[in-house]
Amino acid sequence: MSELCRLSLFLPDEEATAALGRRLAGRLKPGDTVLLDGPIGSGKTHLARALIRARLGRDEDVPSPTFTLVQSYEAPGAEIWHADLYRLTHPDEVLELGLEDAFARAICLVEWPDRLGRHLPERALRLSFAAEGEGRRLEASGPAGLVAGLAA
Ligand SMILES: Nc1ncnc2c1ncn2[C@@H]1O[C@H](COP(=O)(O)OP(=O)(O)O)[C@@H](O)[C@H]1O
Ligand SMILES: [Mg+2]
């Protein structure tokens, strides 16, 4: 079992959030899941968008999957799934969306992870955003290797 780790970071502006997404992009591998927690407008999609663009290596249009619930991208070396589960009506819809399979073989970025219920993956990096002044406070917890990469 990998060691769990915690880290608290202050992100003063949206560029700091994007930079964190880009930093994380290079460290994720197939089977890794990032849970993006926090209220509406806290920066979850902003981080996911920067991460996906960095991993794709191009300035792709990355819409918020608010209505589609999931959006997938073919990146070199790994498929990326970006999910926004705010509108999920029942945790078992996760199965219909194919997310359990994606957790096993893709890089998954999940907004509103609490909607997953019993389908929440055991081993995941959780990033929780909260407003702090003009910026955001980010609390990270998860596998030591991934948490350490955030601080670089
Ligand atoms: N560290 C930050 N400080 C200030 N504003 C930020 C920060 N990170 C992101 N934002 C801004 O927060 C807004 C909402 O972000 P978004 O990612 O759409 O929210 P969510 O997906 O959590 O609902 C965006 O306009 C973005 O520019
Ligand atoms: Mg969002």
pLDDT band at 126 (very low <50, low <70, confident <90, very high): very high
| Ligand 1 mutation pick, 35, 36, 45, 46, max ligand atoms within 8 A of CB | 46
pLDDT at 57 over 60: yes
Query: What is the position in ligand 1's atom list of the atom closest to the CA of 18?
Result: 8
Cα separation, 66 vs 82, in Å, equals 10
Nearest ligand to the CA of 83 is 2
Domain assignment of residue 10, given as a range = 4-151
Which CATH number covers residue 79?
3.40.50.300
- Residue 35, amino acid: L
List pocket residues of ligand 1, CB cut-off 6 Å.
Answer: 11, 13-14, 16-17, 38, 40-46, 111, 135-136
pLDDT the model gives residue 2: 65
What total of structural domains would you count in the chain?
1
| Ligand 1 mutation pick, 17, 67, 69, 138, max ligand atoms within 8 A of CB | 17
pLDDT at 130 over 90: yes
Mean pLDDT in the chain?
96
Q: Tokens in use for 56?
A: 């794709």
In sequence order, the 6+-apart residues with CB closer than 8 A to the CB of 79 are 30, 72, 73, 102, 105, 106, 107
Query: What is the position in ligand 1's atom list of the atom closest to the CA of 135?
Result: 3
- Rg of the chain (C-alpha set): 14
Q: Is 9 left (phi over 0), alpha (psi -120 to 50) or beta?
A: beta
Eight-class DSSP state of 54: H
